[in-house]
A and B are shown apart, each in its own frame.
Chain A
Amino acid sequence: MDYFKATEISAAGMAVQKARVEAAALNLANMNTSSAPGTEGYRPVKAVIRVVSGSFAQALNGGAVRLVAPKAELVAQTGLPPRMAYEPGHPHADASGMVSYPSVDHTQEMMTVMTALRSYEANLTALQATKTLAARALEIGSP
């Protein structure tokens, strides 16, 4: 039945937004975890969202354009300069009294959470719309 395509896509969209929130939550939870000098601390994660080739791709009208579902992958970011704070008494302070923390921008992560939530709800609305279409079609012929 053709309503399954739209349902799968909306469900995938919701999963993707959930992954974005998870990434932000992980980063926020670890942002104040310092690391000893010379060691690598927590690496902030990012939700990388790509199109799934194959399984979700659905051909339309002879395959010219495909409807695709997204998929998110949490990827640890490398090479980010750590956030340094001057705390001379800290056990992880280096020779100049600087402590290294993960490079996490609190404001940015909160913004991500808010937009992800909004997008999650939008995907849910799209799912409801698909359900409504199916329900209305089934009512054809009932007085």
Chain B
Amino acid sequence: MSPTASSVIDQVSASMSVSSLYNQVIASNIANRDTQGYQRLKLQFDRAMGEAGGASVTADTSTASVSLEDDLTTLSTNTMQYQAMARVLSRYFSIVTAITNPNRG
């Protein structure tokens, strides 16, 4: 079995894809704040997050008004989440490397 066949890697990768999509959604909501007739977007999760969940973009029909600060906060949280997962992946790969190639770190 390949040392990197782990489903954990696939889960993290799927999660990063969701964060990447969310980044686009937030960018769209921020850019279209003053656009006539614009319908805010949000992410809808197709499966439970525990599995390698997919998410799709849907119209946000809630009438609660979202401030620009709220959007920026969400953007920031999402970015940190993505960064954390990227970093975690790198660490994980270096652990696997250390195990399978003891001569090289």
Residues of A within 8 A of B (CB): 2-3, 5-6, 9-10, 12-13, 16-17, 20, 48-51, 60-61, 64-65, 67-70, 118-119, 122-123, 125-127, 129-130, 132-133, 136-137, 139-143
Residues of B within 8 A of A (CB): 16, 19-21, 23-28, 30-38, 41, 56-59, 68, 71-72, 75-76, 78-79, 82-83, 86-87, 89-90, 93-94, 105
A66 CB to closest chain B CB, in angstroms?
9
A143 x B56 contact (CB < 8 A):
no
B36 x A133 contact (CB < 8 A):
no
B20 x A49 contact (CB < 8 A):
no
- Within the assembled complex, what's the spacing in Å between the Cα atoms of A69 and B33? 11
Chain B residues whose CB sits within 8 angstroms of the CB of A70 once the complex forms: 31-32, 34-35, 38
The 8 lowest CB-CB distance pairs between A and B, nearest first, are A13-B31, A136-B86, A70-B35, A6-B27, A6-B24, A126-B27, A61-B56, A65-B57
The binding surface of chain B is classed by DSSP as: helix
Chain A residues whose CB sits within 8 angstroms of the CB of B35 once the complex forms: 16, 49-51, 68, 70
The binding surface of chain A is classed by DSSP as: helix
